[in-house]
Amino acid sequence: MDAKQSSQAEQYATLLMRSAERNQAAFRTLYEQSSPLLFSVLLRMLKDRALCEDVLQEAFMKIWEHAASYSSQKGSPMTWMATITRNVARDKLRALKVRHYQDECNEAVDTLESEADSPDKHAALLGELGLIGRVLQQMQAPQRECLLMSCYEGYSHSEIAQQMGMPLGTIKAWIKRGKAQIQAVALAPA
């Protein structure tokens, strides 16, 4: 994490702590600073701006309600907020029974795998999630695709297996190992 990201993470952590104390001004600042990145994550996942706006609002309600449970021991503030946001989006997709099926690769995967993209471009794309981006880049393409489809697109393991033409056990193992790799790096001392 570079100095700018570290400074931003510290600011988010402070704003979350103040939000846990029900400081509305701090929460408003947290929303103003972090919502554009979280909205972009949702837009890649949901592909519907109106739905993204609804999900973002629900996610920030959960962030407000659970701000006291944030701990830097569990990862960066942006990772924590992004996880809440993705979970709310998955819940919404399940409730609506909506899946955004595309060809074998979605836009996010295409961007990550594009030979024209530089590591700097990846870091900019992933913003505060640059750490996760670096771990994803080290993975084999099929494992990375599975992890993105599961975590960012909301596909179930069986849907991924069907779309990729791979055994369900392989898909589950790739996703489990990928999440463990990301968690190991995220929880490693800086």
Q: Are residues 151 and 113 in the same domain?
A: yes
Averaged over 93-117, what is the pLDDT? 47
60 CB-near residues (< 8 Å, 6+ apart): 31, 35
pLDDT of residue 32: 93
Q: Between the ranges 4-13, 60-69, 105-114, 125-134, where is the mean pLDDT highest?
A: 60-69
Domain range enclosing 130: 101-190
Give 93 or 168, the one with higher predicted confidence. 168
CATH of the domain at 184: 1.10.10.10
Q: Are residues 131 and 172 in the same domain?
A: yes
Structure tokens at 126: 């992933």
Provide the number of structural domains found in the chain. 2
Kindly report the average pLDDT of the chain as a whole number: 78
Q: Are residues 90 and 106 in the same domain?
A: no
The amino acid sitting at 161 is: A
Residue carrying the six token digits 């999900």: 55
pLDDT of residue 4: 61
pLDDT of residue 109: 39
Tell me the pTM: 0.54
Q: Would you tell me how many other CB atoms lie within 10 Å of the CB of residue 185? A: 14
Closest CA to 34 of 11, 6, 1: 11
Residue at a domain's end among 70, 98, 126 = 98
Q: Are residues 82 and 55 in the same domain?
A: yes
Q: Would you tell me how many other CB atoms lie within 10 Å of the CB of residue 107? A: 12
pLDDT tens digits for 157-175?
Answer: 888 898 889 899 999 999 8
Give how far Cα 27 sits from Cα of 38, 74, 104, Å: 15, 20, 39
Determine the length of the chain. 190
- pLDDT above 50 for 107: no
Eight-class DSSP state of 67? G
Structure tokens at 69: 């449970």
CA distance 178 to 170: 12
